[in-house]
Structure 1
Amino acid sequence: MRIYLLHIILIAFAFPVNAAEDSTCAYMGKFAAKFMELRQHEVDLTDTMKLAADIAQDETHRKIYVSMVLQAYGEPVYDTPKMQRQAISRFSNRMQLICYKNYKDL
């Protein structure tokens, strides 16, 4: 489980802070995918919540990341890698859709 936390921390710092290389909604989708990946690997919720708070560059992002974590952990954990990948993809796309609908200029 700890290896997954380390993995997401490394991924988080690889993403551009201001998302200049990517749209903000696509950037959020990448975090959503990682949070769902942690969920599918049954990483403890409290550990993931702490991680979400730690990687946020400001209070607004912290709230968004924590919200995504809570939504991800409301979803079921799947047994097969195929179903896990589908859950990750669906969740990422759903979070991006919400972002694009609410923040059309991003």
Structure 2
Amino acid sequence: MIKQLNNIMVKAPFSLQARITIDADPSAERIILMHRDTCHIYYVFKPVTPITSFTVPFCHANTDTILVGILDDNRTYNCKFIDGVRAESVDGNNHG
């Protein structure tokens, strides 16, 4: 009896991600990233450096559904939000 082996080629899964890069005002005390339609909050943080990058769900690479806002903790200034931010598409398999 002859057994035949089938060569099966397996590829690593392709991982697409979306990234938001924020260039914040140095006087911003807190920054918030949230989904525009669902109000799901992705990040609330105090910026350490003026430019920060975050990974968000890939659906935001195709739609303008992110709100980015800056808040003032002592309530001296009004909060400011930018509506309709689109994330950039990033290859999650490329770690360089």
What is the TM-score normalised by the length of structure 2? 0.32
Q: Whose strand fraction is larger, Structure 1's or Structure 2's? A: 2
Greater helix percent: which structure? 1
TM-score relative to the length of structure 1: 0.30
* Larger Rg belongs to: 2
